[in-house]
Structure formats: structure tokens, C-alpha cells
Amino acid sequence: MYVSTHRLPGRALLRSVPANVLALGLVSLVTDVSSEMVTAVLPLYLVLVLGLNPLQLGVLDGIYAGVTTLVRLAGGHVADRRQRRKLVAAAGYALSAFAKLGLLAAGASVGALGAVIAADRTGKGLRTAPRDALISLSTPPERLGQAFGVHRTMDTLGALLGPLAAFGVLAATGGAYDAVFLVSFCVAALGVVLLVLYVRDRRESVAAEPLALVSVLRDRAFRRLCGAAALLGLVTVSDFFVYLLLQKRLDIAPHLFPLLPLGTAAAYLLLAVPLGRLADRRGRVVVFLGGHVALLGAYLLLMGTPTGALVLVAVLVLHGGFYAATDGVLMSVAGAMLAGGVRTSGMAVLQTAQAAARLCSSIAFGALWTAWDARTGLLTMAGGLVLALLTAWRTTR
């Protein structure tokens, strides 16, 4: 019987994805359950149990971005220099796991909480690039998009389950936040065990240059990719603003507000594999840029006057589609471009450039919104997005 390779059913799809990618996906799924458990309840805990005000919460939020950036680059360097990707990733996963116990130990001390959150984010910074490098090194180049699609689907599934688990524990224990943190630690520890047991390290020849960063940045095509990603990151409005704008524009009842991020995640979950496979067949850069066209569509809908459920669904599908077409796809572009020995450093640089640009965009959009209004902010970002897309199209092809 003829089975179309273009429409793989689930089982055949899983068989066509390398075991190491599935193992990494499972680790990410379990770890995301753990980390999203904490993310879901941490603001409640900080405000209701510890009495922090919004300003303090904002300080805890933003202060460690710089630390994470440095850690990510350093982690990428070590992973490449020693060719120990699994070890660096495991250190990152373990650090984040112990940060959950740290939340139990920190008590009400804002300083200690800050340190614990910094440790958690340091762990995230450490693990992301080696993990993505392992995914790409375990996969034949022509299937990178699909492999990242499967990984991100599993990752997002974990992120969706995390809050359910957290509120389940809260409901079952009559509001014991410490139980949430401990259960989260146990789940994270299981993730580390899965990583140690089932993920295989991929070692390449050690980079010729003592500093992998230098050789990565000497590659002109890769520099252009980083530039394009950063440029597009500068005109990417942060998720929170998107949800806030949706809520205001469509006059969504406040109690439905927590559903908005779920809409994006659901679209991401459904689209990550198809768009990853499309990227493998039709060109990854095209799909990556196409994702930003979807984002542009979401901006235009947010700016427009039409209201109603259709606009809501359209914006969330475009927003989730944007992530599905860009997040893993960008890593598959980089994976096909970077030599194996310096892949972790390259991915760390790329992720850092994008993250730094998005941080700037958050600040810029907030300023535009404040100085004029949300519409002007969106219009500016949309205009910038068109220019960035044209530039990226010319430089990355």
C-alpha cells in the first residue's frame, strides 16, 4: 500500500524522528511541566503570601536578563570547547531543579528569592543552546525543521500541563504553595534523570579556535542570520502587550484573560510540526520570514476596528503560528549552517541576539504606547516589521 510521505500519521512521524530528539523532547516536556508549575503560581505566592508590590515584582522580573545572557554565551563556549553538550545541559537542568527547592528555603526574603530566581534563569540560559545543538546534531540536515517541530510540540505540551498540575496541587492541599514547589522539584528531578539516562551526547572535533565565538562570528552568512533575527526581534511586540491589546480592543471580560496565552500555545502546539516539515521542503528561511508575516497580520488585526470572536481566534492563531514558524525553524536554519564543533556557541549567540532585541522591543513598545497610544505603537512596529522583513529577505537569501 502506498503511504504518502507528505502526510505522515503520528506513529510513522515518531519513527522518522531520531530517538535522541524524542528523548530531549521528553526531557523538555517534563521540565516545562515543572517550570510552568512555578511560573503559574509564583506571582500569586510573591504577592499574597509574601506581600510584594507590583514594583518589586517588576524588579524581580527584569533584573537578571543580563546575567542570563552572559551565562548562555559562557555555557555555549564550554560545551563547544570540551565538546560536552550533555554535561552543560544537565548542569542547567539540575540548577533549575534545585532552584525549586531554593524557593522553599528562601522564605520571605526578597534578596534570597531574587537569588533563587536568578539561579533558575541561569539554568535555563545554560541548557537551551546545548539542547538545541544536540537536537540538530542528532538529526539528518534535511529533517531539521521536523525534528525541532516535534521537540517544540512536546515542550509546549509540558507548558500547557504545568499550570494544571500547579493548580491541582494547590486545590488538593488547600493552598500549600510549598507543596507546589516541592512537587515541581520532583518533576524537574525526573527530567534530569531522563536526560542522564536517555539522551546521548554528540561530540564533534574540537573547534580549531580556542574561542568558538570568534570562528562563529567570522562566518558571514551566520552573522547575517543573527543580524536578521535581531532586527526582527526589535519589532516583535512582547506577548503580554499582545494579550493586553486583545483584551482592550475586543473588550474581553477580565476573567477570561488567562485563556489568551493558552490560545497562542494551542496554535503553536498544532502548527509546530507541520510548519517544521514545510520548512524542510520549501525552505527554512522562507517559513521563518513567513512567520513574521503572520505576526504582521496579527498587528494589523489588533489595529483594526472589527471586533468579535473571529478576530480573537485569528489573532491567536496568527500569534501561535508566528512562534511555530520561527522558534524551532530559526534553530534549524542555524543548525544547517554551523559546523558541528561550534554549534552550541553559534546557537547561544543567535538566541542571545534575539532575546536582547526582544527586550529592547518591549521597552520601545512600552514607550510608544505611553507617549502616544497603543495604535501608534502598533503602527510603528508594523512599519518596522515590513522594513525588517525586506532587509532580512535580502540579506539571508
Partner 1 sequence: MKRALILATATVTLAAIAIAYSVLAAAADPAGPGTALDTARPGRLLFRDESGRVASVAATDPGGPRQVSDTSCQRFHAAAGTAVCLISEVRSGLPATSALILDHDLHETRRIQLAGIPSRARVSASGRMVSWTVFVTGDSYNVGGFSTWTGILDTRTGYPIINMENIQLYLDGKRYHAADVNYWGVTFGADDNLFYATVATRGRTYLVQGDYARWEARVLRADVECPSLSPDGTRLAFKKRSSPTTWRLHVLELATMRETALAETASVDDQALWLSNTAVAYARGGGVWSVPADGTGTPSLLIPHAGSLTVSG
In the complex, which residues of this chain contact partner 1 (CB under 8 A)? 39-40, 42-44, 47-48, 51-54, 56-58, 60-62, 108, 117, 121, 124, 163-164, 167-176, 178-179, 182-183, 186-187, 189-190, 193-194, 197-198, 238-241, 243-244, 253-259, 261, 362, 366, 369-370, 373-374
Q: How far is the CB of 224 from partner 1 (least distance, A)?
A: 27
- Rounded CA-CA distance 315/295 in Å is 9
User: ∠15-128-72 over CA atoms, to 5°?
Assistant: 155
C-alpha cell at position 195: 536526560
Q: How far is the CB of 125 from partner 1 (least distance, A)?
A: 11
Q: Which is nearer to partner 1, 73 or 169 (CB)?
A: 169
Helix, strand, or coil (residue 278): helix
Q: Is 212 exposed, middle or buried (0-12, 13-18, 19+ CB in 10 A)?
A: buried
CB 71 within 8 A of CB 122: yes
Q: Which is nearer to partner 1, 167 or 356 (CB)?
A: 167
Q: How far is the CB of 374 from partner 1 (least distance, A)?
A: 5
Q: Which is nearer to partner 1, 108 or 208 (CB)?
A: 108
Q: Which is nearer to partner 1, 125 or 145 (CB)?
A: 125
CB 146 within 8 A of CB 134: no
Q: How far is the CB of 356 from partner 1 (least distance, A)?
A: 14
Q: How far is the CB of 278 from partner 1 (least distance, A)?
A: 27
First to last CA, the chain: 39
Q: In degrees rounded to 5, what are phi and psi of residue 102?
A: -60, -35
Q: Which is nearer to partner 1, 12 or 259 (CB)?
A: 259
Q: How far is the CB of 94 from partner 1 (least distance, A)?
A: 14
C-alpha cell at position 51: 506581600
Q: How far is the CB of 320 from partner 1 (least distance, A)?
A: 13
Q: Which is nearer to partner 1, 148 or 369 (CB)?
A: 369
Among residues 328, 377, 2, the alpha carbon closest in space to that of 148 is found at: 328
Q: Which is nearer to partner 1, 190 or 206 (CB)?
A: 190
Q: Is 96 exposed, middle or buried (0-12, 13-18, 19+ CB in 10 A)?
A: buried
Please state whether 37 falls in left (phi above 0), alpha (psi between -120 and 50) or beta. alpha
- Rounded CA-CA distance 51/41 in Å is 14
Q: Which is nearer to partner 1, 222 or 369 (CB)?
A: 369
User: ∠325-69-371 over CA atoms, to 5°?
Assistant: 75
Among residues 208, 226, 214, the alpha carbon closest in space to that of 396 is found at: 226
Q: How far is the CB of 186 from partner 1 (least distance, A)?
A: 4
